[in-house]
Amino acid sequence: MNLGVIGCGKMGTALVQGAVSAGVVNPGEVIGMDLIAAARQNFTELTGARATTDVGEVLSASDVILLCTKPQDIHAALADFNSDDSCGKLLISIAAGVRLADIESKAPESMRVIRTMPNTPALVGKGAAAYCLGSRCQDGDEAVVMALLSAVGLAVCVPEKLMDAVTGLSGSGPAYVYLIIEALADGGVMAGLSRPEAIKLAAQTVSGAAEMVLRTGDHPAKLKDMVTSPGGTTIAGLSVLEGSKVRSALIDAVMAATARSAELGKS
């Protein structure tokens, strides 16, 4: 696979790093494009691939193009696509909220399009991403996007109508978890731990609990009950969380972010 990247920011660089590490592509098969010199230099240093300022060079050298621009810049980027250089290429967009139909209407007719929603833990190989296939996709296109996204974490295919829900849950979700880690650490500090100790313990606790869910496949409620002994410390803490409606607040946060994603997509 010859892979092109338009937008060599953190996410584009992380996806290429993961793909190279997993053996999906070799650095010599990758070319990135960015107008910012520092971004090109960082991309080259971290991935071993070359970089350019010329969109046409990326299109002509690549079979698969990762479009990693900001949502507000995507149409300007597509305007630079040459129909001849784009012929028969697969375009994978990570732009949040930008619909497949919008991308397909601006991209050359011969391009196949896939829309994805990765999240920032992809930067450390622990991403959670979803993707949906455009109307022009062919056999083998799904395997390509799955290989790229799986190289930096977990990937699932969903209907496009659920991409706003993905944005509200896994796209915005890391921020909710960081807030939880910060709050747990604050509790530890209040109980007498040092700030560095409390943050490490809180972060590792969240990481370990998440890994338990993924490895065992057990429902989180079952794993919660395993920690909760009658009359013990955990049930005392859980009683406070239920009284403060933490569960409802997290549900409402996902729904609010989902609604906002839908609004941004319409605009």
The neighbour count for residue 78, using CB atoms within 10 Å, is: 23
With a cut of 80, say whether residue 85 has pLDDT above it.
no
pLDDT above 70 covers a percentage of the chain that reads 100
Three-state DSSP string of 126-148: CEEEEEEECCCCCCCHHHHHHHH
Give the start-to-end residue ranges of the domains of the chain: 3-161, 171-266
Report which secondary-structure segment, H or E, holds 120.
none
**Residue 199 pLDDT:** 98
Assess whether pLDDT exceeds 90 at residue 203: yes
Q: What is the DSSP letter of 190?
A: H
Supply 97's token pair. Answer: 């909220």
d(CA 47, CA 15): 10
Structural domain 3-161, CATH architecture: 3-Layer(aba) Sandwich (3.40)
Q: Is the pTM of this model over 0.85?
A: yes
- Mean pLDDT, the chain, whole residue set: 95
Two structure tokens written together for 200: 């490490």
CATH code for the part of the protein at 171-266: 1.10.3730.10
The pLDDT of residue 32 = 97
Average pLDDT over residues 33-41: 96
- Report how far residue 174's alpha carbon sits from residue 113's, in angstroms, rounded to the nearest whole number: 27
pLDDT of 188 > 90? The answer is: yes
Amino acid letter for position 48: G
Per-residue pLDDT at 96 = 87
